[in-house]
Amino acid sequence: MIGDRGGDAGVPETGGIYRRLGVEPIINGRSTFTILGGSLMPPAVLDAMRQAADSFVDLSELEEAVGRRLADLTHNEAAFVSGGAAAGLFLGAAAAMARDTEDGVLRLADLGSLPREFVIHQAHRVPYDLAIEQAGGRLVVIGRAGQPDEGELVDVLGAATAAIVYVPKAHLAQDVLPLDLVVEHARTLGIPVIVDAAAQLPPVENLWRFTRSGADVALFSGGKALCGPASSGLVVGSARFIERMTRNAFPLQGLGRPMKVGKEDMVGLLAAVEWYLELDHEALTREYEMSVDYLVRWARRRVDVTVAREALGEAGQPTPRAHVSLRHGTGQDRDELLASLRATPPRIDLLADPDRGFYVAPETLRPGEEKVIARRLADLLEAARPPITDD
């Protein structure tokens, strides 16, 4: 094939800087996964970062000014920029443990005498909750699959509880207590609630919804749907709790110092939030629907796959995606197919399901890449088709 990096589907050729290093770029049909680079920053964000790189500035002054503007934009009392949502989880844990100390600064030597338990529902466990343990916290896991057990929550909360951690994935709503109810129990005991909403955009209202429900703080990834710097995180919430987080955060030289946030990241995330709030979200959803429609129509014409449109994205956010399954007897193994897609240009990365299928998520595709994906899938499926024999 000629120009086979998607050029004939009208996708602009990019990634030269990576190829010069011998690293072939990837078409991302998996979604905003950090391991693939998160998301692509729009020109407004890149331009802001470029301008930020032009002069020196007092980082504490900048942190405060950016925080005030982010708080206004997201209808929260306070906000600040962390070095990613996982860093926000670390700082939230530090602030929660040190909340009753005089200066609010977490010191390792004091851990023995502080509340250290972080209550989390089993369905809310994520690989990133390691950041809580990194700060010296201990996870107290409650709940069983499909059982929002209010009694168990009430039983575990006590003087040793530092905070409740809540991951508001819409598709888990049946399995866990609603956030309002969790907040109610926490409030009566003066226990903070930390919401890890790293991948919970869209909808845009989530930027203020969780904190309006009474959570002390909500954390978002700067490098996922917000399309800001991958190394940034948006922290929004109550002035008191966020002030406590900043006492443990960069640029101060406490435990959060290794999670650095550059001036370009601060300004870049602010530009990303401004951009995100101005986005025509309905138009964007229509674009996603068109990509998914294209893939669904393509797959329906084939005998070797079945296809369905799914309403929710990987993290439960309301972003549609296509779910493709290989029929039995196609001669193609799902894992081999996905490995082949990833092996040679145009390299494509897709998310496997727990069975024989995979998803194609539209939100990280550039225009036309859904066609590149369909064409490569067709090539690989046809190459694997069992030979027709005479007998």
Binding site for ligand PLP (CB under 6 A): 34, 84-86, 126, 128, 167, 196, 198-199, 221, 223, 233, 315
The Cα–Cα gap between 290 and 284 comes to 10
Q: How far is the CB of 246 from ligand PLP (least distance, A)?
A: 18
* Closest CB to ligand PLP among residues 6, 83: 83
* Closest CB to ligand PLP among residues 120, 167: 167
Q: How far is the CB of 31 from ligand PLP (least distance, A)?
A: 10
The Cα–Cα gap between 117 and 96 comes to 10
Q: How far is the CB of 149 from ligand PLP (least distance, A)?
A: 22
* Closest CB to ligand PLP among residues 38, 346: 38
Q: Which of 321, 336, 326, 328 has the alpha carbon at shortest distance from 306?
A: 326
Task: Point out the residue whose Cβ comes nearest to ligand PLP.
Answer: 84
Q: How far is the CB of 117 from ligand PLP (least distance, A)?
A: 20
Q: How far is the CB of 353 from ligand PLP (least distance, A)?
A: 18
Q: How far is the CB of 310 from ligand PLP (least distance, A)?
A: 18
User: At a CB cut-off of 8 Å and minimum separation 6, what does 189 contact?
Assistant: 157, 158, 161
One-letter amino acid of 264: E
* Closest CB to ligand PLP among residues 34, 213: 34
Q: Which of 322, 321, 265 has the alpha carbon at shortest distance from 299?
A: 322
Q: How far is the CB of 167 from ligand PLP (least distance, A)?
A: 5
* Closest CB to ligand PLP among residues 164, 198: 198
Residue recorded with tokens 């011998």 = 22
Is 162 in contact with 117 (CB distance < 8 Å)?
yes
Is 42 in contact with 275 (CB distance < 8 Å)?
yes
* Closest CB to ligand PLP among residues 128, 294: 128
The Cα–Cα gap between 299 and 305 comes to 6
Q: How far is the CB of 245 from ligand PLP (least distance, A)?
A: 15
The Cα–Cα gap between 198 and 201 comes to 8
The Cα–Cα gap between 309 and 293 comes to 8
Structure tokens at 158: 């006590």
One-letter amino acid of 330: T
Q: How far is the CB of 315 from ligand PLP (least distance, A)?
A: 6
Beta bridge partners of 234: 81, 220
DSSP classification of residue 35? G
User: At a CB cut-off of 8 Å and minimum separation 6, what does 254 contact?
Assistant: 94, 105, 106, 247, 248
Q: How far is CA 361 from CA 134, 170, 333, 379, in A?
A: 32, 17, 21, 20
